[in-house]
Amino acid sequence: MSKTLFEKIIAREIPAAIVYEDDYVLAIRDINPQAPVHVLIFPKKLIPRIAEATGDDGKLLSHLLLKAAEVAKKLGLKSGYRLVINNGADGGETVPHLHVHILGGRHLAWPPG
């Protein structure tokens, strides 16, 4: 099975603008930003999508969301931001590796699309 794009970034096989990293997650700037601030944060453990996460992933998922909030604060998103998780083709998923989009830096309208 070939590596996902994010696994290649974790392995430093593909360069990325890293915003945050610890033993469990990595946050990078999106190469096709949809807002002035658009960062992707993902677990280093491969979970293809949120629908495939299990109860054993609970601590990692908690860590992922808490670090997303920490990264948003670090990026200066004081007046708000949006966290987005896409699941499956109809949900807009393009990389089969669970990731959270951190979007901010402008007013974000609703509904999103």
What's the CATH number of domain 5-104, 3.40.50.720, 1.10.3300.10, 3.30.428.10, 1.20.1420.20?
3.30.428.10
Does this model's pTM top 0.75? yes
Q: Does the annotation mark 99 as catalytic?
A: yes
C-alpha 92/C-alpha 113 separation (Å) is 10
pLDDT of 112 reads 79
38, 99, 101, 107: the catalytic one is 99
Q: Is 25 exposed, middle or buried (0-12, 13-18, 19+ CB in 10 A)?
A: buried
The pLDDT assigned to 113 comes to 65
In angstroms, how far is CA 54 from the centroid of its own chain? Answer: 18
Entry field: residues in the chain? 113
Q: Cβ–Cβ contacts within 10 Å for residue 82, how many? A: 15
Residue ranges covered by each domain of the chain: 5-104
Given a cut of 50, the residues of the chain with pLDDT beneath it are none
Q: How far apart are CA 12 and CA 102, in angstroms?
A: 22
Q: Which residues pair with 83 in a beta bridge?
A: 102
